[in-house]
Structure 1
Amino acid sequence: MKGGRETGFAYQAVYRYLTTLINEMGSDARVRLPSLRQLADRLNVSISTIQYAYSLLEKEGRVYSIAKSGYYALPMPSMTPVDGGGDLLETLYVNARRPGMRVLSTDEPALIQPLDSPLLLLERELLRQYPRTAQTPPQPWGELELRTALAARYTSSPARCWNADDVYIGADLRGVLEILIAALSLRGAVVLVESPCDWAVLRLLQGAEVKVIELPLLASGEIPIEHLEQLLVSEMVHLVVLSSTLNMPRATFACEANRRAVAQLLQRHGTWVLENDSYSELAFEAGITPFRDLLDPERLIVYSTFEKTIGAEAPYGYVLSRQLTLNLQRHFLLRAFRLSPIRQKAIARLYSNGRIDQHLLILRRLLRESAVSATQLLRERLGDSLQWAEPQGGATIWIRSTRRVDLRRVFHRLLAQRIVIAPGELFSLQGMYGQHLRLTHALGGAEDLDLVLGALADALRLEQS
């Protein structure tokens, strides 16, 4: 990797090598791993690259270090699936975080091409420019430079413009959504969500004792206009939750005519809209009008996260709102997020210097290629037993079994083989989508995906018999 071959992502290759090495040990005893210098010579990379890969594994609990002795692999835990106390989502979460699992349940598009190296490089440069003694105290709802960059990015016309004071940044998306639920006083209120819906949103609303009404999308991915109007008339709907462009987990979007009809209906009823904008920049095709450009900005709240496009080094969530200024400021002050000012400045510079847009061009291309490859494998392996919506963006595929099968049993059967899938029922509070599942196609290699799909085919066949 040296001599022109060592890139900013060399540590990822080292990380994968070490993960494979640890898994192959297959020992219950603690085994000493190669030293930094041994690995640097073996893999032809710098010692600092080896050090960084080891530090990632140490954070994950895969290795530990002893001063003047080196790094040791922790024993692999039992591969018996861990039960989440009967809660399917908890069982998924617990098993997805165990070492050695092949996780097909994730929705992490940036994993295929993270922007962590440019982000961390910018952060180091900014640390030299802004030594700690010269740094201003953290701002309670985010650094002004980043809020200004986001406001400019979301402004599309004089009528649909945003200011820095309309933007609020939190530690992560969950924290921001919890603040929104509190700021909007949603406890006991009726909230209408398009369905299927992100399980994190559903669980947060359920935990806050919100009355959630699910609006199932049509097979085409469009929102049923008549059903929506019926609910707006018959129910005291406080808020409607919509995807900006791509619905997740379907990874598809409705046609322009359907979206405009929905916007007109919501405008007519004066309904507040909460727009999920986490995926709009991951659509494979350009030119899709987001809902916020069709709706009254005075009755609109937008939320999103950097993590889907930049990666795990930028976990922050954010919200844009014109009308909730005092309420949001109060709740952000109460929450007292402790965010890195320098990391936020670095993200802002990625926007201002155009690096984000360059990155998105590459990320969308890689995701599209991954989706094409994965759907081809699905046709070859499972074309007679599964149907799916052709992904129009993002990193996942929404799949339906053409034969009646207990996907919970399939889920647990695959867990025993160290494979984690996301059953469709997780995306509904009403138990819908029992014949669906969501898989990531951005697994990192066609060989891995082929192996996993073979196991999925076997599990489906056994549960059908």
Structure 2
Amino acid sequence: MLLYESIATGLRRQIAQGTLRGGERLPSVRQLALAHQISPATAVQACLQLEREGLVEARPRSGYFVRAAPSGLPSTPIARRRAPGQVANPALQGLLELPQRPGLLMLHAAVPDASLLPHAPLGAALSRTTRRRATAAMDYAPSQGDPALRRQIAQRYEHTGTAMTAEEIVITAGATEALTLALRVVTAPGDVVLVETPTYYGILQAVAALGLKVLEVPNRLEHGIDVARLDRLLQHTPVRAAILVPNFNNPTGSLTCDADKQALLASCARHGTVVIEDDIYGELAWSGQRPLPLRHWDTGGNVITCGSFSKTLAPGLRVGWLAGAAWTEALARAKYFSSSSNASLPQLAVGDYLARHGLGRHLRRLRRAVADNGQRMRDAIARHWPAGTRCSAPAGGLSLWLQLPPGGDGLALFDAARAAGIGISPGVLFSSRGDYGDCVRLSCGLPWDARLDKAMRHLGRLAARQPGARQ
């Protein structure tokens, strides 16, 4: 760890523990330098890192101050044992996609705003590909995907110290198809699949569509997946597969620590449970330090890793992947029987972009923008939403998870917001049984501007009108 990162970690811990509170001034650069026997330049780097994460703000001629944030996190659901069952959530069964109409402020869509994505260089890559590789761009792609693109994806994992080969990667139409193919290969109708709660509603829809039963393990906002609870569930119930999002769970943004990742892998291997890892948000660590995927510790070929460029480059190109280790042949066959192959042009264009530009510089800008916007939204919630509103404090990803004051109704707030031209996601979508009725998810993928500031104020007023809310 670099020296400035060590100093930033210490300050970050003080902020998380409340030693340094919202609005309080950090030690000056001179004080930090003297206390830690470092140069002023290193002290400045530490403060800049915290500023990039949205934890502190610089005030001219005054120094760095901790940004305000809502008090408390949403409450963790009581860990009660439930028998496996079908997905039984009417809100999921009636949902194809949340409203997308002209003029709607899309705080319900967990994707970065178009202004944060490299559309110009990607457009140039598309044009270049159609000019220089017209035949390949218009022909069928190999069923497993473009070999050059698969090598580039494998290299990105290799850069984290995670062993992966291009030969085991299958290109898919986004992460959703990757997750569905993995489920189709390793399960049969009636099998039990373990998922987190809350979790992304697309996972629940895929489980339901394949006729699988679901068993939920709590995801704790402060610590991620409840690994002890997971092990107890596996001891009592035969579970064929576990779909887990350890890196910045959607909707909570929680991060499971490395020790817990290793423990849950050991538990799943011990009980014969295949792990399907959704690593779609792994590249969006607000600190800039990418967390390791579960695959990093997998020595038995028990992890299928799924990912996508939808959250980092372009959602509309639909370029995702899965890395199947021992399951590669079956996954490639399932892909062929499902859709033969992905379109050639997007694969070739993304490969061209990566070869010319890489992802480093773009990801640094994207992470800073999302972290800054997430903190601005949390500040707005603290100022303008009713007392008792609780908000997650994610370390990455694109989501904020809010719990309304007692008596709050996420679906009612969803309807009122939609009538006002603001899209939000009601909490009931993120559970197999429609739990979290007092919660909502907001996307922090939109850059902060006057319209978003106004929308956050208006949402606060709408929340304040609900029964039990108090200012």
What TM-score, normalized to structure 2? 0.74
Deviates more, 1:417-426 or 1:273-282: 417-426
Q: CA deviation at 1:293?
A: 1.1
Structure 2 gaps of 5+ residues are 1-88
Q: 2:385 aligns with which of 382, 385, 396?
A: 382
Say whether 1:277 aligns with 2:279: yes
2:461 alignment partner in structure 1: 458
Map 1:91-130 → 2, pairs under 5 A:
96-109=99-112, 111-130=114-133
Displacement after TM superposition at 1:353 (Å)? 3.6
Distance (whole Å) between structure 1 residues aligned to residue 137 and residue 221 of structure 2: 56
TM-aligned CA deviation for residue 433 of structure 1? 1.5
Q: Which residue matches 1:54?
A: none
Question: What is the CA-CA distance between 1:161 and the residue it aligns to?
Answer: 2.6
Which of 426, 431, 437 pairs up with 1:428?
A: 431
Measured against aligned partners, the alpha-carbon deviations of 1:76-119 in whole angstroms (never above 9, x if no partner) come to: xxxxxxxxxx9545777566222222221110025351122111
Q: Supply the AA of the counterpart residue of 1:278.
A: I
Q: Is the 8 A contact 1:244 1:292 kept in 2?
A: no
Distance 2:176 2:344 in 1: 20
Q: How many residues align?
A: 379
Give the letter aligned to residue 418 of structure 2.
L
Q: Secondary structure at the match of 2:305?
A: strand
| Counterpart residue identity of residue 196, structure 2 | E
8 Å CA contact 1:112, 1:363 repeated in 2: no
Q: CA-atom RMSD, angstroms?
A: 2.5
Alignment-mate amino acid for residue 414 of structure 1: A
Cα pair distance change 1:413/1:236, threshold 3 Å: same
Name the counterpart of 1:187: 189
Contact 1:246-1:279 at 8 Å conserved across structures = yes
CA distance in 2, matches of 1:157, 1:399: 32
The aligned residue for residue 415 of structure 1 is 418
1:403 aligns with 2:403: no
Letter aligned with residue 409 of structure 2: D
Partner of 1:359: 362
247, 255, 258: which one aligns with 1:256: 258
Corresponding residue number in structure 2 for 1:145 = 148
Following the alignment from structure 1 to structure 2, what is the Cα–Cα distance between the partners of residues 193 and 97?
28
**Aligned residue among 342, 345, 350 for 2:348:** 345
1:131 to 131, 134, 140: 134
CA distance in 2, matches of 1:253, 1:367: 16
Q: Tell me the distance in 2 between the aligned counterparts of 1:406 and 1:123.
A: 45
- Residue 387 of structure 1 aligns with an amino acid whose one-letter code is R
Contact between 2:407 and 2:467, CA under 8 Å: does it hold in 1?
Answer: yes
| Contact 1:301–1:320, Cα closer than 8 Å, also in 2 | yes
Distance in 2 (alpha carbons) for counterparts of 1:129 and 1:461: 58
Out of 238, 254, 270, the position equivalent to 1:236 is 238
CA shift for structure 1 position 447: 1.8
Mapped contact 2:225–2:246 kept (Cα < 8 A): no
| 2:355 counterpart letter in structure 1 | S
Q: Equivalents in 2 of 1:442, 1:174: separation in Å?
A: 19
Q: Aligned residue for 1:334? A: 337
The structural deviation recorded for 1:242 is 1.4
Deviations 1:117-154 (A, max 9, x none): 11121222233322328976421221111112112222
SS in 2 for 1:183: helix
Give the secondary-structure state (helix, strand or coil) at the position aligned to 2:249.
coil
User: Taking structure 1 as reference, are residues 171 and 263 closer, same or farther at Cα in structure 2, changes over 3 Å only?
Assistant: closer
Residues 166 and 412 of structure 1: CA distance in aligned 2, closer, same or farther (over 3 Å)? same
Q: CA deviation at 1:264?
A: 3.3
Indicate conservation of the 8 Å contact 1:107/1:396, yes or no. yes
1:281-317 CA-partner distances (Å, limit 9, x unpaired): 0011215232221233511101111111002343222
**CA distance 1:215–1:112, change in 2 (3 Å):** farther
Moved more, 262-271 or 299-308: 262-271
| Paired residue type of 2:216 | E
Aligned to 1:268: 270
CA distance in 2, matches of 1:242, 1:175: 16
- 1:413 is aligned with what amino acid? A
8 Å contact from structure 2 (residues 283, 290) kept in 1: no
Task: Give per-residue Cα distances to partners, 1:232-255, cap 9 Å, x unaligned.
Answer: 111101111112421111112123
Q: Distance in 1 between matches of 2:429 and 2:448?
A: 26
Deviation at 1:455, TM superposition (A): 2.5
How has the CA–CA distance of structure 1 residues 263 and 331 changed in structure 2, closer, same or farther, with 3 Å as cutoff? closer
Alignment partners' CA distance in 1, 2:95 and 2:187: 30
Q: Which has the higher contact order (CA 8 A, sep 6+)?
A: 2
Does structure 2 conserve the Cα–Cα contact (< 8 Å) formed by 1:191 and 1:240?
Answer: yes
Q: Give the whole-Å Cα distance in 1 for the aligned partners of 2:180 and 2:97.
A: 22
Structure 1 residue 265 displacement after superposition = 2.7
- Classify the secondary structure of the residue corresponding to 2:101: coil
With 361-370 and 176-185 compared, the bigger mean Cα shift is at: 176-185
Match of 1:438 among 413, 438, 441: 441
Give, as a single letter, the amino acid of the residue that structure 2 aligns with 1:208.
Answer: L
Residue of structure 1 in register with 2:301 after alignment: 298
Matched with 2:7 is: none
Match of 1:154 in 2: 157
CA contact 1:267–1:295 (8 Å) conserved in 2: no
C-alpha contact 1:421 1:437 (8 A) present in aligned 2: yes
Within 2, Cα distance between the matches of 1:185 and 1:379? 44
| CA distance 1:457–1:218, shift in 2 (3 Å) | same
Q: Is the 8 A contact 1:245 1:253 kept in 2?
A: yes
Task: Report the residue type matching 1:280 in the other structure.
Answer: G
State the secondary structure of the residue aligned to 1:100: coil
- Amino acid paired to 1:144: P
Shift of 1:206: 1.2
> Is the CA contact 1:373–1:446 (under 8 Å) kept in the aligned structure 2?
no
Q: Is the 8 A contact 2:105 2:421 kept in 1?
A: yes
Is the aligned partner of 1:318 residue 2:321? yes
1:369 aligned residue: 372
Alpha-carbon offset, residue 454 of structure 1 = 2.5
Distance 2:113 2:314 in 1: 5
Q: CA deviation at 1:384?
A: 1.6
Mapping for residues 18-97 of structure 1, pairs under 5 Å:
88-89=91-92, 96-97=99-100
Q: How many angstroms apart in 2 are the aligned matches of 1:213 and 1:403? A: 27
Q: Which amino acid aligns with 2:323?
A: L
* Rounded Cα–Cα distance in structure 1 between residues aligned with 2:137 and 2:91: 49
> Which has the larger displacement, 300-309 or 104-113?
104-113
Structure 1 vs Structure 2: percent identity of aligned residues?
25
